[in-house]
Structure 1
């Protein structure tokens, strides 16, 4: 399946991009997706473990869970302030 990955704040800076498209297997887990996104990018690899995620605008925290049919993943690093 093809996913739009949108990066915000520190994740955007680490990825050096606001978004990217990736082709992944239909049964991929969030943890496996993190591994793919972090490949060859140590800055992003450092940020991703602290991030939270939205799967088609719904929070997703379990990194062992398969994504299932998905169009968009938002990568949200911890934010400071109110």
Structure 2
């Protein structure tokens, strides 16, 4: 299983602070799955979000995620 943690606006859009998903999904597939569960509001956030996989920035959204990883969903932050 993959643990998904939502932060800031992603948490608000998801309506929860975490989810679980089967291992083997890519980030793109995970985004589709999470959007189908939580709605298009979260889907919009996921399109602009950054992802950390076990604390490391992940830029390859097509690579399969192994069992046991934690994916942090970080929406764009505003401020100065």
Distance 2:31 2:59 in 1: 12
Name stretches of at least 5 consecutive residues in structure 1 with no aligned partner.
Answer: none
State the 1:28 CA deviation.
1.8
Q: Report the equivalent of 1:60.
A: 58
Cα deviations by residue, 1:1-40 (Å, 9 ceiling, x for unpaired): x111100011000000111222x1x432110011101104
| TM-score, length-scaled by structure 1 | 0.85
Q: Report the equivalent of 1:46.
A: 44
Q: What count of residue pairs does the alignment treat as equivalent?
A: 79
| TM-score, length-scaled by structure 2 | 0.87
State the 1:71 CA deviation.
2.1
Distance 2:8 2:34 in 1: 16
State yes or no: 1:8 paired with 2:11: no
Alignment check: 8 A CA contact 2:2 2:67 kept: no
Distance 2:58 2:67 in 1: 13
